[in-house]
Amino acid sequence: MAASDETTTDPTPDAEGGPPYRSPHAHPDVAAEAAAGAAGVTRADPGPEAGAAGPGGPPPRAARADDDGRMPRWLPRAVVLVLALVACFQLGSWAFHQLIGLLVNILIAFFLALAIEPAVARMAAGGMRRGLATFVMFIGVFVVTAGFVALLGSLLAGQIVAMVEGFPGYLDSVIRSINSTFRTDLSRLEIQESVLRSDWLRKYVQNSASGVLDVSATVLGGLFKLLTIGLFSFYFAADGPRLRRALCSVLPPAKQSEVLRAWEIAVAKTGGYLYSRTLMALVSGVAHYILLAILGVPYAPALAVWVGLVSQFIPTIGTYLAGALPVLIAFTVNPWYALYVLGFVVVYQQFENYVLQPKLTSKTVDIHPAVAFGSVIAGTALLGAVGALIAIPAVATLQAFLGAYVRRYELTHGADTVTSRPRRRGRLPGLR
């Protein structure tokens, strides 16, 4: 049986000169080779690919590509996709930096619209058209702002004129004190001539003349920014219901209620923040006006308005900025009056922080003072003065929205107290 599996080849050709005779019991590969030889085809060596592909099948596509040295078909598409993503990112970054000013203005307008939303909704519920109610609110805000600017402008203009008129007298008194102290012989006329003939004054005048165009451009840019904020806030307030419907129409029903709830919380917190601050500004202004009127400090109404608004609507440092101006004006009247005003500002600030503010803001913007301070710092770092103004109502809105969905539990016995008993050494807490 073993002999039948072996190849039996007769080297003697047949009578017609054909190929040598092979046994029909030869191995299949040998028989195939013999058939190929009879047809005149030389069988190629299978090479290493046959072993890689496995018996009975063609080699894999990747193996053929690698062996042939050709690029995979997916590589050009991947390169094009990566380049397209990088180009889109660069384009989006450039567009964002170009539109950052407009986005900040829209954010300010949105918070202003939320602040006047309760009053507009109340007037609209009384039968007034919503657009007319929004216009009335804007007229009121404009009148209050214009009045404040007029009062402050008259104060500053009067003080500047008084300082310019009294500058020669101030300079003479300073020169006399210097001559008497250091035994010098200075003269005001000589000092004025040396200052007028100095090179730095000429350079300063030239730079100021060349910077007039920059100042004009800055003023025009500020006016355009105010116009943009006013226009967007008017549209947000007048078309508030339509805007909410348009936003909710692209959301599923389960998300619409969440958006409406967040909108209501934002309106309540922002409006409450504005109204509580306005009321505290009114109380602060009246209190400081009474003190300044008693002391006889000039421009008492303008100073009272300044203290009320600046101390309430400029977070963190507003109190110090508000108190510095009346203290300075009172010092020009009498140094003791400046001390009285400074003491009153400090005492009233403590009364406001611990008595007045908790009662007025307990139901509107109830956030911890540390959280408010941190939010102001974060808002200033992100958006500057604008971020400092909108940080507190934004954080109050976020806190109220999260508080509506965060589940709270009752405290266990002793969880709200600190154990003051000394622990026994070698025992775990709770074991006896």
Q: pTM, whole model, 2 decimals?
A: 0.59
Q: What would the mean pLDDT of 271-293 be, rounded to a whole number?
A: 86
Mean pLDDT of 126-130: 88
| SS3 annotation, 44-85 | CCCHHHHHHHCCCCCCCHHHHHHHHCCCCCHHHHHHHHHHHH
d(CA 357, CA 253): 40
- pLDDT higher than 50, residue 63: no
Amino acid code (one letter) for 135: F
User: Angle CA(329)–CA(289)–CA(388) in degrees, nearest 5?
Assistant: 80
> How high is the pLDDT of residue 90?
94
- CA 259 – CA 422 distance, rounded (Å): 52
What tokens appear for 120 in the block? 């507009």
Q: Given its phi and psi angles, is residue 56 left (phi above 0), alpha (psi -120 to 50 degrees) or beta?
A: left
Higher-pLDDT residue of 341 and 202 is 341
The DSSP string of 123-150 is HHHTT--HHHHHHHHHHHHHHHHHHHHH
- Would you kindly state where each structural domain of the chain is located, as residue ranges? 103-151+184-250, 263-405
Instruction: Copy the structure tokens of residue 198.
Output: 């100095």
pLDDT(56) > 60: no
CA distances from 246 to 103, 162, 201, 236, 239 (A): 20, 58, 61, 12, 10
State whether the Cα torsion 115-119-124-130 is positive or negative: negative
End-to-end CA distance of the chain: 90
Separation CA 378–CA 258 (nearest Å): 27
Q: State which of 4-8, 16-20, 255-259, 303-307 shows the largest mean pLDDT.
A: 303-307
pLDDT at 88: 95
The per-residue pLDDT for 44 is: 47
Tokens matching residue 377: 């710092």
